[in-house]
């Protein structure tokens, strides 16, 4: 296979645009030698940075690749050293390690058998920030603060399964042959192509799925007798303590404002609000008076332009609570 041809295959693979025939060619090339597998891993290291939301808007990967290829050609002329990939993606907001290898491919039987020797891919969003990533199949995910997403190295080739801890908004690329599946500690959601919000923080007493477009099927939750199917503008909420799943309608006008850095409280208890503030501002909140946990509040706050002190001032201005703050420690009483 020509040098330029394989580089184009790799770019399509990393950009989520590689068709089935291209995947077959790429796997065959990887199976030819350890040197080829090492080369692919180097390319994947370039993709191993998930940047904060909006940094890749309008970014022309093809144009960047052409510039990169030109730099490689210049280096080959002046040196025999192997060029290292230039990491042009800045402002890393998530840690992502990508390692890939391919093993024996049986063309005689018309089957592919991919064996992996390295760890899965993990994307972690620090507290106090959001992260936007695009998966190999073209699916986009916005991860909320304190969230983690993981998927296998065979994603998009063998299946499309991801695991989430925390909260993420998914815009799933359509692929009728490979349904997209999201799992967490509480339940499993299966879709074909859709937009939905999935939330399941270990510290929350609930897990929920809110569907904007398409259709999803929810399974593997406590007390399940049969799967639950959602249609657009429905919310499925699981009470983790009781093991009860409730489906309700939601206002289509209500957006998932957290993806834009807006903390929107629509009657949640202060106990739930405190958990959100802890993740959003990387603080610790304790209650000197536990009865305050059950108070309910409404309001919108902008994480990027309003400090946690400003949020607490607004909550205390209602006369329902008082607070003290020292560094990153907040006490509500």
Q: Residue 76 pLDDT > 70, yes or no?
A: no
Residues 129, 236 within the same domain = yes
What sign has the CA pseudo-torsion 117, 37, 21, 64? positive
- Which residue has better confidence, 21 or 180? 180
Q: What is the pTM of this model?
A: 0.61
Q: Are 279 and 125 in contact (CB under 8 A)?
A: no
Please give the residue range of the domain that contains residue 274. Answer: 262-332
* 176 lies in some domain: yes
| Among 328, 241, 324, CA closest to 283 | 328
Higher-confidence residue of 49 and 321: namely 321
Q: Which helix (H) or strand (E) holds 278?
A: helix 270-281
Residues 242 and 269 both lie in one domain: no
Is 44 in a helix, a strand, or coil?
A: helix
pLDDT of residue 1: 57
Q: Which conformational region is residue 269 in: left (phi greater than 0), alpha (psi within -120 to 50 degrees), or beta?
A: beta
* Of the candidate ranges 83-87, 183-187, 321-325, the one whose mean pLDDT is the lowest: 83-87
- Residue 290 included in any domain: yes
Least-confidence region, from 57-66, 216-225, 319-328: 57-66
Q: Confirm whether 66 is domain-assigned.
A: no
Residues whose CB falls within 8 Å of the CB of residue 305, separated by 6 or more in sequence, listed in order? none
Q: 92 by DSSP, 3-state: which?
A: strand
Q: Do residues 146 and 235 share a domain?
A: yes
Q: Which of these three, 207, 225, 249, is where a domain ends? A: 249
* 207/317 same-domain check: no
In contact, 280 and 307? CB cutoff 8 Å: no
Whether 284 shows a pLDDT value over 90: the answer reads yes
Closest by CA position to 186, among listed 168, 164, 171, 169: 164
Regarding whether 293 and 231 lie in a shared domain, the answer is no
- Of residues 238 and 28, the one with the higher pLDDT is 238
**Same domain, yes or no: 219 and 319:** no
Q: How confident is the model at residue 322 (pLDDT cuts 50, 70, 90)?
A: very high
**Count of CA atoms in the C-beta half-sphere (13 A) of 313:** 5
Mean pLDDT of 10-24: 80
Evaluate whether residue 30 is within a structural domain. Answer: no
Question: What separation, in Å, do the N-terminal and C-terminal C-alpha atoms of the chain show?
Answer: 69
- Residue 205: exposure state from Cβ atoms within 10 A (0-12, 13-18, ≥19): middle
Return the DSSP state at 103. -
Query: What pLDDT is stored for residue 75 in this prediction?
Result: 45
Clarify whether residues 281 and 322 are in a common domain: yes
The top-scoring range by mean pLDDT among 26-30, 84-88, 245-249 is: 245-249
| 218 inside domain | yes
- Tally of domains within the chain: 2
* 225 and 308 both lie in a single domain: no
Do 301 and 237 fall within a single domain? no
Residues 245, 125, single domain; the answer is yes
> What is the CATH number for 295?
3.55.50.30
| Residue where a domain terminates, one of 215, 249, 283 | 249
From the list 191, 269, 260, the residue with the least C-alpha distance to 232 is 191
Q: What is the pLDDT of residue 130?
A: 92
Q: Say yes or no: 267 and 158 in one domain.
A: no
Cα distances (angstroms) measured from residue 129 to each of 59, 61, 76:
21, 25, 40
Question: What is the structure's pLDDT at 275?
Answer: 95
Distance of CA 31 to the CA centre of its chain: 30
**In terms of pLDDT, which residue wins out, 98 or 128?**
128
Residues 189 and 279 reside in one and the same domain:
no
Phi-psi domain of 116 (left: phi exceeds 0; alpha: psi -120 through 50; beta: other): beta
CA atoms within 13 A on the CB side of 206: 16
Residue 19 resides in a domain: no
CATH of the domain at 230: 2.60.120.1440
Q: What is the mean pLDDT of residues 194-210?
A: 94
pLDDT confidence tier of residue 52, bands split at 50, 70 and 90: very low
């Amino acid at each position: 296979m020509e040098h330029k041809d394989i580089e184009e295959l790799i770019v399509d693979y990393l950009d989520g645009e590689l068709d089935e025939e291209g995947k077959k060619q790429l796997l065959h090339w990887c199976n030819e030698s350890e040197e080829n597998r090492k080369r692919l891993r180097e390319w994947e290291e370039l993709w191993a940075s998930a940047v904060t939301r909006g940094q890749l808007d309008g970014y022309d990967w093809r144009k960047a690749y052409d510039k990169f290829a030109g730099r490689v050609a210049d280096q080959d002329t002046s040196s025999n050293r192997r060029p290292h990939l230039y990491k042009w993606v800045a402002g890393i907001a998530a840690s992502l390690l990508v390692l890939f290898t391919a093993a024996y491919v049986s063309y005689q039987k018309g089957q592919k058998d991919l064996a992996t020797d390295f760890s899965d891919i993990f994307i972690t969003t620090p507290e106090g920030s959001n992260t936007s990533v695009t998966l190999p199949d073209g699916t986009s995910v916005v991860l909320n603060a304190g969230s983690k997403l993981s998927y296998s190295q065979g994603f998009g080739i063998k299946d499309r399964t991801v695991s989430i801890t925390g909260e993420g908004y998914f815009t799933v690329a359509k692929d009728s042959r490979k349904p997209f599946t999201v799992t967490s500690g509480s339940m499993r959601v299966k879709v074909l192509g859709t937009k939905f919000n999935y939330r399941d923080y270990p510290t929350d007493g609930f897990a929920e799925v809110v569907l904007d477009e398409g259709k999803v099927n929810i399974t593997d939750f406590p007390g399940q007798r049969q799967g639950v199917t959602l249609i657009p503008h429905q919310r499925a909420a699981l009470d983790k303590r009781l093991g009860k799943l409730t489906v309700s309608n939601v206002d289509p006008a209500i957006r998932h404002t957290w993806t834009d850095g807006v903390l929107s409280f629509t009657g949640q208890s202060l106990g739930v609000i405190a958990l959100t503030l802890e993740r959003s501002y990387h603080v610790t909140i304790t209650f000197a008076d536990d009865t305050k946990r059950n108070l309910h509040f409404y309001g919108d706050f902008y994480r990027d332009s309003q400090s946690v002190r400003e949020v607490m001032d607004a909550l205390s201005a209602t006369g329902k609570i008082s607070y003290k703050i020292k560094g990153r420690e907040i006490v509500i009483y």
